Amino acid sequence: MGYTIPTSTPVGREEVPMPSPRGPQAVSIQLTDQQRAILEEIVRCRNRPQYEVMRASIILQAAAGARNQLIADNMQIDAQTVRLWRHRWAHAAAQLTDIEAAGDEKVVRAFIGTVLADAPRSGRPGTFTPEQLCHLIAVACESPEASGRPVSHWTPRELAEEVIKRGIVDRISTRSVGRFLKRSGFKAASVPLLAQP
């Protein structure tokens, strides 16, 4: 005679669900069309860092409904790594949706890059929040003339002055601006960052 595992246990009038025999349920990942397109572009790009391609692929497979162990087996990585990036994406999802609602694709791309980047190392805490960095990218996407700057494109110095003036950050060096823009996919600081048409 076979034994059937119950899916719930009666307690008084209520039924309490039993844990799944296959382990805990993975965090659900939902992607917008724009998020999916950006992640697919990252996976296809030959010039992206391998860690970024791997993490984007994890998120895409998770959004397609694949379980953590299946993703880990497909990619020949540890299931804990899959769990980590699934949780990290889920944690940033609401903020990413808000940023996407603002309608600036460059800011969305920069934020996705931040989510897929390595977590800050132990030691001195990070100086800038992801929100501040997204605002910096948003300012970089604006025309400098709209801010009263007599230049046709942003330079790290002009951009640093503007984000301090607007109160986005208390202080930031031109070197930090240049490094962040380069890491976010913009051109090196020695050339025009965002030339206006």
What are the tens digits of pLDDT across the range 134-148? Answer: 888 888 888 888 888
pLDDT digits (tens, 9 = 90+) for 92-135: 888 888 888 888 888 888 889 888 987 666 555 557 777 788 88
* Under 8 Å between Cβ of 136 and 168: yes
In a 13 Å sphere around the CA of 47, the CA atoms on its Cβ side amount to 1
pLDDT at 22 over 60: no
Higher pLDDT, 178 or 158: 158
- Calculate the alpha carbon distances from 81 to 4, 53, 54, 114, 146 in Å: 33, 14, 10, 17, 44
pLDDT at 55 over 90: yes
Q: Residue ranges of the domains in the chain?
A: 33-92, 130-183
Average pLDDT over the chain reads: 78
The tokens for 74 are 């497909």
What pLDDT shows up at residue 142?
85
The 3-state DSSP class for residue 35 equals helix
Average pLDDT over residues 55-72: 93
177, 183, 187, 189 alpha-carbon torsion, rounded to 10°: 30
Give Cβ neighbours of residue 99 (< 8 Å, ≥ 6 apart).
107, 108, 111, 134
* Under 8 Å between Cβ of 69 and 96: no
What does pTM read for this prediction? 0.56
What pLDDT shows up at residue 5?
37
For 35, other C-beta atoms within 10 Å of its C-beta total: 21
The tokens for 11 are 């307690």
pLDDT at 27 over 80: yes
* Under 8 Å between Cβ of 107 and 184: no
% the chain with pLDDT above 70? 76
